[in-house]
Amino acid sequence: MIRKIRRLVKKAPKSNFKEFYHQPGTLPGTLIVDEDAEPPIIILFDYNQTNFIRKQIATPEECLSYLDAESVSWVDVQGLGNQDILQRLGKVFNLHLLVLEDIVNMTERPKIEDYEDQLLIIARMVVPKEKNCGFYSEQVSFVLGENYLLTVQEEPEHDCFESVRARIDKGKGIIRKQSADYLAYALLDAIIDGFFPVLELYGERIEELEEEVILKPTPQTLQQIYQVRRELLQLRRYIWPQRDAINALIRDGSELISEEVRIYLRDCYDHTVQVMDLVETYRELASGLMDVYLSAVSNKMNEIMKLLTIVSSIFIPLTFVAGIYGMNFNTEKSPYNMPELNWYWGYPVCLALMVAIAVSLLILFWRRGWLANFSSIKHD
C-alpha cells in the first residue's frame, strides 16, 4: 500500500509555482526579467471627489504631470516583460534599486518595507479557475506615495481589482473622497477577499471527495486528495506572511498611512485570520480524507478476504468427501473397503450429502451474520 501511494504521489500534477532566484554573487538591485513574462500595459487612474480620468498610457513619463497634482493617481502596471519600461518606471517614481528588484522577483515573500517617502507592500493574489478546482496566483507590488499608488502585476489577466475600479469609476462609497492610502487598503482588502471564492471551491471539492472515498474509492481519488492537500499548503504559504505583513503595517505604522485607514486595516487583518482558519480546517479535512481512504481500501480488502474464506470453508468439507470416495479401495478384498462403492444409489447419495453440507454451512453462516455487508465489493 505504501509503494502504491508513492507511485500515485509521483504522478500527481505539479504546482504551477515557478521558481525564481538570483545566481549566487549577483549584485543587489539586479533586474532579471522572465523571458515568458507578458509585455507591460500601463493604465492610469486619476481622480478626486469630483473628477475621474482613466486611460491607458504608452510610456511611464506620461505619469509625471499627474503625480504633482492634488488628485490621487493610481498607476496600474500589468505585465513584467520589458526591462526598459521597468527601469524608466523606476526613474519616474524615484524607486530604489532594491524596490525594483523586489517588484521583478515574482516569488517574493509578502512583506512591508518603509522607504521614508514611499511604502513598499508585496502581496500575493489568487483568482479561482473557471472550469475546475484550482487557482491562478500572482504577485502584486504596491508602492505608496503621498498622493499616488503604483501597482505592478505579473499578468494583465486574472486580477480581483474590478470591484475597486468600478467604485472609483462610479463614485461609490468614500474611495474618491479619501487619499492614496485608502486606495491601497481597498486593493489589499480585495486581494484578501479573493481567497474566499477559492476556498469555497475547495470546500465543495472536499465534500465530493469525501463522498467518493466512502462510496467508491479509487487510486485516482487518492491522487486528487494529495493534489488538494498540496494546493491548500500553497494557499497557506501565501496567506500566512500576508497576515504578518498587514499586522506589521497596523502595529508599526507609517507616516503615509493615516489613523483612519489603519482602523480599516484591522478589518483586513481579521479577514486574513478567517482565511487562515479556513485553510487550516480544509487541510485537516483533506488529511482526514487520506485516512478514510486507507480505511475504506482496507475494509474492502477485508470483505474480499471474508468472502473468499467463506467460499473456502464451504468447499473444504466437499473436497474431503470427494477425496474419501476417490480413493477406490477394492471391496472384494475386505468388506470394510468402502462398501458404498457397490451401492446402487451410491453416487446420488454422495452428491446429495455434499449439497446438504454446503447448504447447512450457508445457513449457519447466514444465521451468524457472516454473509452480510458484501455490497461494497464491486468490480472496478
How does pLDDT run across 248-279, given as a tens digit for each residue?
989 887 888 999 999 999 999 999 999 999 99
What CA–CA distance (Å, rounded) separates 65 from 62? 7
Total number of domains in the chain: 2
Domain CATH code at residue 72:
3.30.460.20
How many angstroms separate the CA atoms of 342 and 134, rounded? Answer: 78
* pTM for the model: 0.75
Encode pLDDT of 22-81 as tens digits. 566 556 656 667 767 778 899 999 999 888 999 999 999 998 888 878 899 999 999 888
Residues facing 115 on adjacent strands? 118
Question: 41 or 302: which carries more pLDDT confidence?
Answer: 41
Q: Give the residue numbers spanning the domain of 353.
A: 296-367
What are the cell numbers at 229?
492537500
Of 221-230, 240-249, 318-327, the one with minimum mean pLDDT is: 318-327
Claim to verify: residue 228 and residue 329 sit in the same structural domain = no
Q: Is 90 exceeded by the pLDDT of residue 242?
A: yes
My answer on whether 290 and 315 are in the same domain is no
Q: Give the mean model confidence (pLDDT) for residues 8-17.
A: 42
Least Cα distance to 380 among 215, 214, 218, 222 occurs for 218
Are both 95 and 158 inside the same structural domain? yes
338 within some domain: yes
Spatial contact of 135 and 126, defined as CB atoms under 8 Å apart? yes
Stated as kind and residue range, the H or E segment containing 210 is helix 195-215
Q: 315 and 214, same structural domain?
A: no
* CA-closest candidate to residue 144, choices 178, 184, 176, 108: 184
> Which three three-digit cell numbers place residue 38?
507578458
Whether residue 95 sits in one domain with residue 221:
yes
Residue tagged 464451504 (cell numbers): 314
193 in a domain, yes or no? yes
Average pLDDT, the chain: 83
The yes-or-no verdict on residue 173 having pLDDT over 90 is: no
The domain boundary, picked from 295, 329, 346, lies at 295
Taking residue 146's Cβ as centre, other Cβ atoms within 10 Å add up to 13
Domain boundary among 295, 310, 333: 295
pLDDT of residue 369: 73
pLDDT of residue 373: 61
d(CA 193, CA 188): 9
Collapsing DSSP to helix, strand or coil, 127 comes out as strand
Question: Pick the residue with more confidence: 231 or 364?
Answer: 231
Last residue of a domain, one of 280, 295, 310: 295
